[in-house]
Amino acid sequence: MKILREFGAFIKMAGGMFRKPENSKMYWKQFMLQCNDIGIGSLGIICIISVFIGAVSTLQTAYQLVSPIIPKTTIAQIVRDTVILEFAPTLSCIVLCGVVGSKIASELGNMRVSEQIDALEIMGINTKGYLVLPKILAGLVTIPLLIMLAMVLGIWGGRLAGTAAGIIDPSIFDTGLVMAFKAYNVYFALIKSFVFAFIITAVPAFYGYNVKGGALEIGHSSTRAVVVSCVLLLLADYILSALLL
């Protein structure tokens, strides 16, 4: 019953986000601020994670492919497909659940506890549209871009690690990258990134917006938001893979 109540409250919150804005310029400014916080603020950690994920993928793939019959171009193909299909979208978004999700939940929770949201509502501002909707839209714009960057950096990190360790020649790696390439894999990863972006922003926003109590409850709400987001993200990953692959 608790799950059904929370789902109903989420639908109610989502329905209140799409009322006509009181001031479009105010909403646009809030949207740009959220794009900066979510996109630019997460850029560094995504770059670091992506490079090392690609590097580790190359080393572990080369460690397992010990047969001389298998060409070394296979290493590049495996690294390319694993980074595009799973590592870049899923692992990056799990990290973003902690980075972005906890920030959104704690920010809205603090505003709710300090009665800032109540003050905005008294002023006649639709707080669901002004505080929640820009965060979700900013996530839907910036997180897929971060995932695309993670794909490129992951493959580049794999190439760099393979060259530095003497595992595979750069020209052979580049040849393997274009062999049997399926553009659908990139489209599939982008579909996942949009779904994940919605989960990463909407779920923490819901828990932060509806928090009750004080500072302790804000911490509990942030933790619960991150946990629920990660579980839903993995569930969505499985469902999308089963339906689209």
Report residue 223 as tokens.
């933790």
- Please tell me the predicted confidence (pLDDT) of residue 209: 86
Q: Give the C-alpha separation, 151 to 156, whole Å.
A: 9
Report residue 74 as tokens.
């296979």
Report residue 41 as tokens.
């603020």
CA distances (Å), origin 183, targets 26, 167, 179, 190: 39, 27, 12, 11
- Please tell me the predicted confidence (pLDDT) of residue 22: 65
- Please tell me the predicted confidence (pLDDT) of residue 67: 72
- Please tell me the predicted confidence (pLDDT) of residue 1: 65
Secondary structure class of 170 (helix, strand, coil): helix
End-to-end CA distance of the chain: 34
- Please tell me the predicted confidence (pLDDT) of residue 195: 94
CA distances (Å), origin 110, targets 54, 116, 210: 38, 8, 11
CA distances (Å), origin 56, targets 61, 156, 162: 8, 12, 9
- Please tell me the predicted confidence (pLDDT) of residue 234: 92
Secondary structure class of 20 (helix, strand, coil): coil
Give the residue from 182, 168, 149 showing the smallest Cα distance to 50: 149
Q: What is the pTM of this model?
A: 0.89
> Which residues lie closer than 8 Å to 170 by C-beta, 6 or more apart?
159, 162, 163
Give the residue from 127, 107, 97, 93 showing the smallest Cα distance to 22: 127
Q: Answer for the pair 158, 57: CB distance below 8 angstroms, yes or no.
A: yes
Give the residue from 219, 158, 183, 193 showing the smallest Cα distance to 39: 193
CA distances (Å), origin 65, targets 58, 60, 61, 161, 224: 11, 9, 6, 16, 41
Element at 207 (helix H, strand E):
helix 183-209
pLDDT tens digit at each of 245 positions of the chain: 677 787 787 788 777 777 766 677 778 888 899 999 898 888 999 999 999 999 998 888 888 877 778 788 888 898 899 999 888 899 999 999 988 988 898 888 888 888 888 888 888 788 888 888 889 999 999 999 999 999 999 999 999 998 888 888 888 888 888 888 888 999 999 999 999 999 999 999 988 888 887 778 888 888 888 999 999 999 999 999 999 87
Q: Give the C-alpha separation, 217 to 236, whole Å.
A: 28
> Phi-psi region for residue 124, left (φ > 0), alpha (ψ -120 to 50) or beta?
left
